[in-house]
Amino acid sequence: MFPLSPYNYFEIAALIASIFFWPKLKGTIFRWLLPFMIFIVSVEMYGRYLRNELRQPNAWLYNFSIPIEYLFYAMLFYFYHKKPVFRKIVLGFIILFTVFVGINFLIQGHQKMNTNMLKVGSFCMIILCCLVFTELLSTDRVINYIKDPIFWIATGVLLFNTGEFFYTLFSDYLIKNHLDKARKIFSTINNKLIWVLYTCIIISMLCIRRKPRKV
């Protein structure tokens, strides 16, 4: 189990931040960051235990946890949006993606990493983040974007999923041609992007005001 990978400490730091900033989080849409970070750290620790201690595959665990991550960020964006059309788009993603994951599990199984789910999910996350930026830019209110928590969450999610999308898009070619058979390129990209994602989430919690907008 120990020592942990560097990216694990970023996840744990985000969990500690969500506990520390709970007085500001509760009663807002960002209150869900605390149970989400508990879930993320628990999955990572159990995944490491399966791989390092029990020497068992852990792809099935991430096949279940990653769709939950996509749906969590989509839920945050849904509650953030004021424009009905954007809310409908996000709600449509939540429904259709859930159905897609269920059908894809029946076809592709869940023991090996579900690359179809990663491609579709990461691409849709990119689109949903762009919708957040569109609403931020189109508002009549004067906004300091670097002090807006949803800006930082959308930025982290966008950067993380852009990297994942382009890797998974070419992953079959790379693995087939023995360019990344051990998925070391994926691990390098993924681990560095985790640093970016959870750093952005921590910054978002720093930006939450004492009385931010409620659901």
Q: Is residue 196 part of a domain?
A: yes
Question: Is there a contact between 152 and 201 (Cβ–Cβ < 8 Å)?
Answer: yes
* Residue-level length of the chain: 215
Q: Is residue 213 part of a domain?
A: no
Total Cβ atoms within 10 A of residue 147: 13
pTM of the model: 0.91
Q: Is residue 1 part of a domain?
A: no
In this prediction, residue 209 has a pLDDT band, given cuts at 50, 70 and 90, of: confident
d(CA 93, CA 121): 9
Half-sphere exposure of 26 (CA within 13 A, CB side): 5
Q: What is the structure's pLDDT at 191?
A: 87
Please, what is the Cα angle at 68 between 180 and 212, to 5 degrees? 120
Half-sphere exposure of 109 (CA within 13 A, CB side): 4
Q: Which domain holds residue 129?
A: 6-207
Q: Is residue 48 part of a domain?
A: yes
Q: What is the structure's pLDDT at 32?
A: 96
Q: Is residue 215 part of a domain?
A: no
Total Cβ atoms within 10 A of residue 62: 18
Q: Is residue 159 part of a domain?
A: yes
d(CA 54, CA 122): 30
Nearest to 67 by CA among 95, 48, 42: 95
Average pLDDT, the chain: 89
**pLDDT tens digits, 35-70:** 999 999 999 999 999 999 999 999 999 999 999 999
Tell me: pLDDT of 178 over 90.
Answer: no
How much of the chain is in helix, strand and coil states, percent to nearest 5? Answer: 80, 0, 20
Q: Is residue 144 part of a domain?
A: yes
Find which of 65-79, 106-120, 167-181, 199-213 is predicted with most confidence, using mean pLDDT.
65-79
Q: What is the structure's pLDDT at 179?
A: 64
And the tokens for 96? 């259709």
d(CA 96, CA 116): 14
**pLDDT tens digits, 75-117:** 999 999 999 999 999 999 999 999 999 998 888 877 888 888 9
What is the number of domains present in the chain? Answer: 1
Q: Is residue 212 part of a domain?
A: no
d(CA 16, CA 13): 5
